[in-house]
Amino acid sequence: MIDFEYVSKFYEGDREALFEVNFRLAPGEMAFLTGHSGAGKSTLLRLLLGLETASSGAVRVAGTNLADLSGEKLARYRRRVGVVFQDPNLEEDLTVFDNVALPLRISGFSESDIPRRVMAALSRVDLSEQALVSPKLLSGGQQQRVGIARAIVHRPALLIADEPTGNLDPELSARVMRMFTQFQQLGVTILVATHERAVVESLPFRRLVIERGRLISDGLGSKR
Amino acid sequence: MNRWLSDHRWAIADALKRVRERPIQFLVLVGLLSILLAIPGWLAQIWLGMSSLVPEEAVHSEAIVFLSNEIEFEERIELERMLGESPIVEHVIFIPKSKALADLSSSDGLAPLTQLADDNPLPDALQLRFVFSPDSGVSELSLVERIEFDPRVLSLRYYPSTRIQYGSMLEVLAFFGAGFSMLTILGVLMTVFLVSAADVVDDSKRIKLYTLLGASSRYIQRPYLYRATFLGIFAGFQACLAVIGLNALLSEVVINNLEELDSRLGSIPLDTRILLGIVMVSVASSWIGAERAMNQRLKGLH
């Protein structure tokens, strides 16, 4: 599903953000991307989302080199990816329903199809009852779940999460991770970037450890 | 088609939401743009009004063509014939230098000058009277220029009619009016550009989110472009109202005096082309300003 082929990324002044990062994530696989702040996790995710292009090497998703995509093709690729942010990034002037419906509207789903899909996504994160309220009225954990519902509502084949539990307490973090595990069991490929050791060590998934832009470890973790 | 409709419906709803969110900003912008647009519109209205008032009964242009002393009789006849055939020349009258000297003596009371008859210093001349013929394709000025450089001609005095003088004045006014209008249209464009650019900065978080969710640049731009279009429509209509109001005010203030000068000046007609032009320019410049800003800022954001 995801192929990083000796990917390096340099910024202006030859500042090295990633250096020859090489790994492959099979379809339906879930992995953690860990490392300290500034290690290169965000750069890697930006490359995976097509927000930047690699200085050398290739980033391929489902066989497509992202460097070959631009404009409408790149937008179409992003419509097949679900993204969960540390800050759920919800639009406060829209209801929970409309926030979750955003990817569907952007992807051009018919209005008659949208309510069914949105309610299905909200029920997966146990927020069906809150569909018509403003996100402002929800707790931080609920807002994060709305963000997750928005990321899965269009049934993406790939889910990318950037510090999804960064603002949550341990109990809510565990709940979010359980959701990701369920999605993975449904065949979604998931890459979770986090620097929270507790979260990573609580689940038996592959860990990609990145440090100073280099992939220093790639292996399976074991549940404690 | 359904996708297209639903995308545009969503964009229009979003644009209206933006207008509702910042009504004061929208109204101030409408006011500012309408002032900028009303000025050239009003100038154009005055200019068109003036153009329609070209005096019909104006004095015709005349020219006195002084002939070279060396000119032969046949050459003079040929020149007279050539000038007489021009569609803008009403008639050509030959004034021999003896008559010119006699006229000069009698009109100025310089009787002794007749004594110079044997040694007359004045040249023979042709008096041209022009006729207004806009469809002929020949202008008085071009004919005058041609005569001036004719080797048979010593010199030429041209007395343009009030119509020509008025026309020249209108040309100058049109030139400055067009320049000023361009500046104000540029002002509209820049205002919308800056406002849209500021919107992109304000909404950068939202735009980044939409980008990550797979929205194309066009999808992201659409609500802003619709808002700019609404802005252009409202500003255009308000500018039209301002022009209509100014026209009514001017009519009331000066109409009585003008009517005494010329009965045709009893009313100042409003030209609908100007009103239509104001709305079109308003919408087009607002749209272009927003589109440029969005393109530039979105590139920077991505």
**Measured between alpha carbons, how far is A52 from B185 in angstroms, rounded to an integer?**
38
Task: Report H helices in B85-133.
Answer: 97-108
**Measured between alpha carbons, how far is A202 from A223 in angstroms, rounded to an integer?**
5
Nearest CA to B87 out of B126, B135, B149, B125 is that of: B135
Instruction: Let me know: does A213 contact A16? Beta carbons within 8 Å.
Output: yes
Phi, psi values for residue A51, rounded to 5°: -80, -20
Tens-place pLDDT, residues B121-130: 788 899 888 8
**Interface A-B: count of C-beta contacts within 8 A:** 50
The four Cα atoms B169, B171, B177, B183 give a dihedral, to 10 degrees, of: -130
**Measured between alpha carbons, how far is B5 from B11 in angstroms, rounded to an integer?**
10
- Asked whether the beta carbons of residue A93 and residue B21 sit closer than 8 angstroms, the reply is yes
Of the pLDDT bands very low, low, confident and very high (cuts 50, 70, 90), residue B112 is low
Strand runs labelled E in B203-282: none
Distance from the Cα of residue B219 to its chain's centroid: 40
Nearest neighbour of B212 by CB, restricted to A49, A76, A111: A49
Shortest Cα–Cα distance, A108 to chain B (Å): 6
Q: Which two tokens stand for residue A6?
A: 């000796």
* CA B238 to each of CA A136, B31, B37: distance values in angstroms, whole numbers, following the listed order: 38, 8, 9
Instruction: Let me know: does B176 contact B270? Beta carbons within 8 Å.
Output: no
B2-19: buried (b, 16+ CB within 10 Å) or exposed (e) per residue? eeeebbeebbbeebeebb
Quote the ipTM score.
0.85
pLDDT exceeds cutoff 80 at B40: yes
pLDDT exceeds cutoff 60 at B242: yes
Of the pLDDT bands very low, low, confident and very high (cuts 50, 70, 90), residue B136 is confident
- Asked whether the beta carbons of residue B7 and residue A108 sit closer than 8 angstroms, the reply is yes
- Asked whether the beta carbons of residue B212 and residue A106 sit closer than 8 angstroms, the reply is no
Is the alpha carbon torsion for B253, B257, B259, B262 positive or negative?
negative
pLDDT of residue A134: 93
The predicted model gives B101-106 an average pLDDT of: 76
Give the β-pairing of A158-162 and A81-84. Answer: parallel
pLDDT of residue B300: 67
Q: Tell me which residues of chain A, numbers 103 to 132, contact chain B at a CB-CB cutoff of 8 Å.
A: 103, 105-108, 110-111
DSSP H/E element including B155: strand B153-159
Tens-place pLDDT, residues A101-143: 999 999 888 888 899 999 999 988 888 898 999 999 998 888 9
**Measured between alpha carbons, how far is B264 from B54 in angstroms, rounded to an integer?**
11
Tens-place pLDDT, residues A179-204: 888 888 888 899 999 888 877 888 88
- Please give the residue that has the higher pLDDT: either B206 or B115: B206
The predicted model gives B70-90 an average pLDDT of: 88
Considering chain B, what percentage of its residues have pLDDT values greater than 90? 17
Length of chain A in residues, anyone? 224
**Residue B174 burial by CB count (10 A; 0-12/13-18/19+): exposed, middle or buried?**
middle
**Measured between alpha carbons, how far is B86 from B141 in angstroms, rounded to an integer?**
13
Average pLDDT, chain A: 87
Length of chain B in residues, anyone? 302
Q: Domain A1-80+156-224, what architecture?
A: 3-Layer(aba) Sandwich (3.40)
Q: Tell me which residues of chain B, numbers 173 to 212, contact chain A at a CB-CB cutoff of 8 Å.
A: 205-206, 209-212
B30-39: buried (b, 16+ CB within 10 Å) or exposed (e) per residue? beebbebbbb
- Asked whether the beta carbons of residue B3 and residue A91 sit closer than 8 angstroms, the reply is no
Shortest Cα–Cα distance, B190 to chain A (Å): 27
pLDDT of residue A108: 85
Nearest CA to A191 out of A45, A9, A17 is that of: A45
Tens-place pLDDT, residues A80-91: 999 988 888 898
Instruction: Let me know: does A114 contact A97? Beta carbons within 8 Å.
Output: no
The predicted model gives A202-217 an average pLDDT of: 87
The predicted model gives B12-24 an average pLDDT of: 89
Disruptive mutation site among B212, B295, B298 for chain A (greatest number of A CBs within 10 Å)? B212
Of the pLDDT bands very low, low, confident and very high (cuts 50, 70, 90), residue A224 is very low
> By three-state DSSP, how is residue A2 classified?
strand
pLDDT exceeds cutoff 90 at B241: yes
In chain A, domain spans? 1-80+156-224, 91-154
Shortest Cα–Cα distance, A223 to chain B (Å): 32
Q: Which two tokens stand for residue A216?
A: 């220093």
Considering chain B, what percentage of its residues have pLDDT values greater than 70? 86
Instruction: Let me know: does A164 contact A195? Beta carbons within 8 Å.
Output: no
pLDDT of residue A159: 92
Instruction: Let me know: does A72 contact A108? Beta carbons within 8 Å.
Output: no
A49 touches chain B (CB under 8 A): yes
The predicted model gives B5-33 an average pLDDT of: 89
Considering chain A, what percentage of its residues have pLDDT values greater than 70? 98
Distance from the Cα of residue B190 to its chain's centroid: 23
Whether the pTM exceeds 0.90: the reply is no
